[in-house]
Chains A and B, each alone.
Chain A
Amino acid sequence: MKEFQYCFFLPQLFPSVNFVVFGQFLIRGESFMVSAITVNHLNVSYHGNDAIQNVSFSVSPGKLVGIIGPNGAGKSTLLKALLELIPRDTGEILMEGKDISEVRKRIAYVPQRSNIDWDFPITVIDTVLLGTYPNLGIFKRPKKKEKALANNCLEKVGMGEFANRQIGELSGGQQQRVFMARALAQQADIFFLDEPFVGIDVSSEKTIVTILKELRDSGKTVLVVHHDLSKANDYFDELILLNKELIGVGEVEKVFRSEILAKAYNTQFPFFKEIEVQL
């Protein structure tokens, strides 16, 4: 069924390609897939200062991808540029082969914890319920169905008993799990997480990683901005290594090598040689 859907919009994407070719793709069935995210020659700047320079990559669906790089490498900027939350200077971004405006509601975004007002008068369950908003029409309120979904998602991250707490009363790890539940409640196909493991406890980190891997296994695409090199090779299938420019992209085994990592990090860490030994 999926192959048929792809063949419907493919002609619009590559109008110059001969139709016979599509027949072959159809016959080969699963070997062909539209990439989840395609970025071509992306440039982003803040007031004339380069933040991202000529970055191109593509991510296949069903991959768990880490965006890593040193501080100020433009990781969060890349995530925001992908969502068109900040304007880009040049370049093309396609999600599932389409313009982002067509797929926005199927992208779940988990912001950095520091961007949230934790004193806001909202309970844990109502925070998760926000995840159902993108799929509710205008003027529509969440009903029983949405509330059941939110409860389910909250149980999944092991926070069911905290449903009626105010979000500021939770620990950092619990807060992050609640936001993970909110992303789940959006029932999205693409997940963007900005530094989800900063300042959280080990068991929360484990819970979130497990969920991300489950999402990946069910065919969702997950992008995670991650600053900590130590676990990058355990957590992710693919890496996007960034330091304003794209340093490396691809499967973890190919990118997570000291000589490639050094290219991204050694300008910031003169002592990188020592870390390299450990790697």
Chain B
Amino acid sequence: MAVAVKLDFDNTYEIEPLSGDLRVSTFISDLEDGSSVPLRVEISSEPHALLPSVFNLAFGPTNKKGDIDDKAEISHKDYSKVFSSILLAGLTYLTDHTDQYLGIDGSNNARAYLYYRFLQRNFDYLNQFFEMYGLKYYVRISRFGKNQYDNPFDFNDVVPATDRIRKGMVIRSNLMYNYFIFKLK
């Protein structure tokens, strides 16, 4: 996947809303092999039960069940245009929901690192529109076991920690944020 993405909301694919509330939209992405694929952008219709202002944003091709496959590996012809289109759909939604946050999961560490590179590379541009945050989860170490096979981590005791993403922040790929959050400025 290309890293040299230049986000520009003036250079997007033609986005077609599939719902009147802008929670579901689609656009056609051209692929490297000359074919094209419809990509769907979805904003969850219900927030997290405990977090009423945080909504998940997912994107990707859909599978046979109609669910977004965010692990699909596709070679897009123009990654700049793809990600500009996805974020424009999110931006448009947020202009009607100024008190809400949109969250994007990095489905794996490599992809999360790539998203972070995109954010940093385009920080000045995105910073005009969004407050951007990165979320990490920390697991408690209960105590070290008596032998080396005892698991000291208590995965029922996880603490979330959010950072405001700032220009130039360097984070190693293996310590990358799990979740990226956007709010309209």
* A and B physically associate: no
CB within 8 Å of B: which residues of A? Answer: none
CB within 8 Å of A: which residues of B? Answer: none
